[in-house]
Amino acid sequence: MTSLVLLNEHTCFGGVQRFYEHASEQVGLPMKFSVFVPPQASQGPVPVLFYLAGLTCNEETFMIKGGAQRLAAELGMLLVAPDTSPRGAGIAGESDAWDLGVGAGFYLDATQAPWSAHYRMESYITDDLLPLVLQSFPARAERVGIFGHSMGGHGALTLALRHRELFRSVSAFAPIAAPALCAWGQKAFNHYLGSDPSSWAEHDASALMRQLQTPFPQGILIDQGLADKFLAQQLLPQEFEAACQQANQPLNLRRHAGYDHGYYFISTWMEDHLRFHHRLLST
């Protein structure tokens, strides 16, 4: 397993907030991620919760803006946040648009050149980062949850559904719930996966859910702001809601008047999500 390079660390609520870089075998480039280690980890392994950030974000965004460390320290949960894409892949145009390329990896393994050489975010998280975290930190391998926001909410839902053996709990804030049906998802899928929509369904949470029966019997939590400017055209939570009904999947989809797409919204409901995961990861 590759070694970690500690970039910086900060004492925080009795625990420690750290930022790391390491060489990723799956991506083929250095990758960065952040970890909050709660004080309880000094006494033994604790549950671990992965957070996947949205478009334009990086490994710092959640730890700075999410307001999660105080409660994670109280509950004894290890928090992990990876970057949102490879950096420095050298692909022509990869930084030209905010919704494709750098900062927009969509948490899948690209199959189309030139993206396929390095844009392997699904394998990075499941085959590189998760094993690295379990080896390097006092984390309980059988108590791993995942959540995220927007593009990261898409990633959390799809990775949880595709790797149910790895993730015990899943939730999301304003996820791109049916990417095959919206402009963000169609643009990314065309470039990363090719023009055949049949390949897109494997990375669309609503399409995946329709193929399953009660994959998470203890429930899925989603929060969505009704003042979110992306709600009608890009997020489409009603598609995932309908898919869950078809799959007999318990879903708590909470719609909040007045809340938009940003971290003021996310931080408002962060405690509910941490307690949701703590309940499922502690039993």
Residue from 27, 28, 67, 10 nearest 19 by CA: 10
Cβ within 8 Å of residue 215, ≥6 positions away: 160, 161, 164, 209, 247, 249
Q: Which of 34, 150, 169, 206 is catalytic?
A: 150
Q: Which of 128, 204, 228, 273 is catalytic?
A: 228
State the distance between the two ends of the chain, measured CA to CA, in whole angstroms: 30
- Does 228 participate in catalysis according to the annotation? yes
Q: Are 7 and 20 in contact (CB under 8 A)?
A: yes
Q: Which of 22, 203, 261, 277 is catalytic?
A: 261
Element of type H or E holding 148: strand 139-149
- Does 85 participate in catalysis according to the annotation? no
User: CA-CA distance, 73 to 56, in Å (whole number)?
Assistant: 28
The phi-psi region of residue 90 (left if phi > 0; otherwise alpha if psi is between -120 and 50; otherwise beta) is left
- Does 267 participate in catalysis according to the annotation? no
Active centre residues (catalytic): 150, 228, 261
